[in-house]
Structure 1
Amino acid sequence: MIIVFGLVALAVVAVLYWYLWRRLVRDTTAGPGRARRAGTALFVVGPLLMFAALFAEVGHAPFALQRTLAWPGFLWMVLSLYLLLAVVAGEVLRPLLHRALKRPERGAGLYAMCGYRRAGAPSPHEAQPSPQPEAPLRQLTRTETEDPTPTPTPTPAPSRRLFVSRVVGGAAATAAVTTVGLGTYGVLRGPRVKRVTVPLARLPRAAHGYRIAVVSDIHLGPILGRGFAQRVVDTVNATQPDLIAVVGDLVDGSVKDLGPAAAPLAQLSARHGAYFVTGNHEYFSGAAQWVEEVRRLGLHPLENARTELAHFDLAGVNDIAGESTGQGPDFDRALAGRDPARACVLLAHQPVQIHEAVRHHVDLQLSGHTHGGQLWPGNFIAAAANPTVAGLDRYGDTQLYVSRGAGAWGPPTRVGAPSDITVIELASKRA
C-alpha cells in the first residue's frame, strides 16, 4: 500500500508540474528555441532538487549535503506552490483577455502597453499629416534631412493566444516570486514579539503581571542555524521575562550536527529560569540526546514533570510522538497530587493535548506545533487537525494559547502566518 500510495502521489506531482510547464513555458514561447529549452530545464532540475532535499533530511544524509540541497530544494517547493495557485487563478483571466483583444480599440491598447504593434495598426511614432498652407519649395540642407534620433520600431505583435499566455504567465510568475520573497524575508529577519494578557482565577494577587516568554518551533536545521538562534535569544531576552517556556520543535537534526547552532540558548535569561518540553521533531532527531543538551545549556527539561514556583505550578509533558518509543505524555505523573487551590500552567507542544489538560483542571496550556499554518492556505489544513491554530482560546475552565512559532519547517518561508515570540502576562482576578 505504501508503494501504491507513493506511485499515485508521484503521478499527481508529475501532472501538476506538466501543467505548470505547459502554461509557463510551452504556451509562452513561440516555438522550440533557447527560451523553451531553459524553461524546460528549470522544470526538470527544480523538482529533482526538491525531492533530493526532502530525502536528504528524512534519510539523515550527511549534514553538509543537507545544507547544500536545502536552500534551492525547499525554496523551489514553496515557489511551485504559489506558481500553481497563481496560474490556476490566471485561468479566470484568460477568457477575459481574449474577449478584450477581440475589440480593436481595447486590443490595440493592450498590445501597446506591452510594447507590441498589431499588424495594420499605425505606429504611435508615425506623425499624422495635418493641413498646412503651401510654402515655396526650397532645397533642404544635409543637416535638416538627417534625423539624429532614429525612431524605435515596435516589436511585431504575437498571436492573440501567445500574447494572453505571456501576460497571464508573467503576472503569475511575478506574484509567486514576490510572495515567496517577502515570506522568506519575514522568517530570516526573526520573529516579532506579541503580547497577550491571560487572566487566571486561581492566580494570587502577588503574581499579577507575571510574564512568560513563549518560544516554539524554532526548527534549527540545514537552513536556520546559529545566527537565527542568536536572533531568537536576543529577542526573548529583550522582553525581560520572568520565565521562558520553550515548547518544542527546537531542532531538525542531531546534537552532533546542530549542537553549535543551539549554543546561543545558553544565553537565555529570565528571573525564574528557562524551561523546555519536547516536540514531535525532537523524536525524529534524538530526543534523549537533546534533552541532555538543553539541560547542559541551562534550560530545565520538564519530562512529564512539575515544579512548584512561588505563586503557581509549572508542569510539562512530553510530545505525543514520544509514544512510539515509550516516552509519550503522562499527565497523571505530571499533574497528580498537586494542590488544587494553586493555579497551574502546562507546557505541551501540540494543541490537541488540551483535552487531557481540561480533565486535569489545568488553568492555562501553552503550545505551538501548528505554525499558524505557515503557508496560506495551509491554515485551513492546520485548522482541520488542531482545536486551535493560533492565539488564545478557552475549553471549559482551561485556556489554551498557541504560538505560531519562531522559525519554519521545510521552506524558510511564511505566508499569512508571521512568526512570533509571545509574552504572556498573567493577570490575577483578585487584583
Structure 2
Amino acid sequence: MLSRRAFLTTSASLLGAGAAVGGYARFVEPEWLDVTTRELPVRALPPALHGKRLVQLSDIHVGPRVRDAYVRDTFARVRALRPDIVVVTGDLISHHVGQFPHAEAMYAEMPLGALGTFVSFGNHDYGINWQQPDVAASLRSIMENLGATVLVNEVAVVAGLQIVGLGDLWGGAFRPERAFAQVDPALAQLVLSHNPDTADLPGWGSYNGWILAGHTHGGQCKAPFLPPPILPVQNRRYTSGAFDLPAGRQMYISRGVGTYLPVRFNVRPEVTMFTLRAA
C-alpha cells in the first residue's frame, strides 16, 4: 500500500513535471524557431534559377499572441539566409485592434527576396470568421506598398518561374481555374495555397508540380510518435512536411512561424529554405 509520504512525494513530482511541460509549451517552444533546409526540384526550371534560395514563411500571425520581438528575430534570421525569393503562404495577421498599423510596422522589417517577394493569403487575413474581404484588401495594399507582390488566384513570373498564388479556401476566395487560366504550361510553375485541403479539390488541371502550404501549424501540440490530436483540415494526413499527391503533384506544409493559441509542444515553429533544382 502506498504510504502517505510516498503519495505526497509522487504527487509533488507529477505536479512539478506537469508545470515544467506546461512552461516549456507556453514559453519555450513557441519561439524555438527551426530553419529547415531542403531541395525543391522544379520541372523546366530556368538555368538562371538553379541553386537559388527560396524561403517560405507561413502563419506569422502578427498580433497580440505573437511577440513582436520574436517576429523581428525571425525576419533577421531570414535576412541572414540572403534569399533570392521569399514567399509567404498566408495568415500574416490575427485580428486585433490596430491590426493595420501594427502589420505595416512589422512587415516593413520583413526581408524581401533579391528577385521578388510573393504573398498568398490565409483565412485569418480575411478578418472575423474569415468573412471580411475588406480586411484582405487593406492588407494587400499594405504589403504591396512595402514591395511584396500579393497573389489571389493570380500569377507572377520571376526569372522564368511562374508563381501561382491561390485564394484562401475558408475565406471563400479559392478559384484555381481562374489562376491556372493565366499559366503558360511550357514554363516552370510553383503554387502557393494556404490550406492543404485545396490539394484534394478540383480545378488543378494538368498541374504536376509543388504546392507550398501552411495553415496547420503542424497541429501545434502532439505527443511523441503520435499524430496531432487537433488539425484544422479535413484530410488528417496533412500535418506538416512533404507529401506525394495524385497526378504527380507534391506538397510541402510548413509548421508556420507564429501561433493563434500561444502554445507548442513537439511541433517547433519553422522557416523553410529551399534550394531550387531542375527536376
Determine if the TM-score, normalized by the shorter chain, exceeds 0.5. yes
In 2, Cα distance between equivalents of 1:319 and 1:291: 14
* Structure ID, larger Rg: 1
Aligned to 1:351: 196
Match of 1:288 among 131, 137, 142: 137
Identity of aligned residues (%): 28
Deviation track 1:361-413 (CA, whole Å, cap 9, x = no partner) reads 14111001111110114714338644421111221311100100011111x22
In 1, Cα distance between equivalents of 2:76 and 2:94: 21
Residue 339 of structure 1: how far off its partner (Å): 1.8
Is residue 34–residue 271 contact of structure 2 (8 Å, CA) maintained in 1? yes
Residue 427 of structure 1: how far off its partner (Å): 1.0
Whichever structure has more strand as a proportion of its residues is 2
In 2, Cα distance between equivalents of 1:385 and 1:163: 49
SS in 2 for 1:251: coil
Is residue 190–residue 228 contact of structure 1 (8 Å, CA) maintained in 2? no
Asked if 1:298 is matched to 2:147, the reply is yes
**Large movers: runs of 4+ above 6 Å:** none
**Residue 357 and residue 381 in structure 1: after superposition, are their counterparts in 2 closer, same or farther (change >3 A)?**
farther
Taking structure 1 as the reference length, what is the TM-score of the superposition?
A: 0.57
Q: For this pair of structures, how many residues does the alignment match?
A: 266
Is residue 233–residue 264 contact of structure 1 (8 Å, CA) maintained in 2? no
**Equivalent residue runs for 1:30-429 within 5 Å:** 98=1, 101=2, 160=3, 162-163=4-5, 165-187=7-29, 189=31, 191-254=33-96, 256-257=98-99, 259-260=101-102, 262-267=104-109, 268-285=111-128, 286-323=135-172, 328-355=173-200, 356=202, 358-377=204-223, 379-382=228-231, 385-396=235-246, 397-410=248-261, 412-429=262-279
**Residue 399 and residue 288 in structure 1: after superposition, are their counterparts in 2 closer, same or farther (change >3 A)?**
same
SS in 2 for 1:379: coil
Is residue 218–residue 249 contact of structure 1 (8 Å, CA) maintained in 2? yes
Higher relative contact order by CA 8 Å / sep ≥ 6: 1 or 2? Answer: 2
SS in 1 for 2:39: strand
Deviation track 1:160-183 (CA, whole Å, cap 9, x = no partner) reads 3x4454234323222222112223
Query: For structure 1, which segment, 183-192 or 217-226, has the greater mean C-alpha deviation from structure 2 after superposition?
Result: 183-192
SS in 1 for 2:212: strand
Residue 315 of structure 1: how far off its partner (Å): 0.9
Taking structure 2 as the reference length, what is the TM-score of the superposition?
A: 0.86
* Structure 1: stretches of 5+ with no match in the other structure: 1-97, 102-159
The root-mean-square deviation of aligned C-alpha atoms, in Å, is 2.3
SS in 1 for 2:124: helix
Is residue 226–residue 262 contact of structure 1 (8 Å, CA) maintained in 2? no
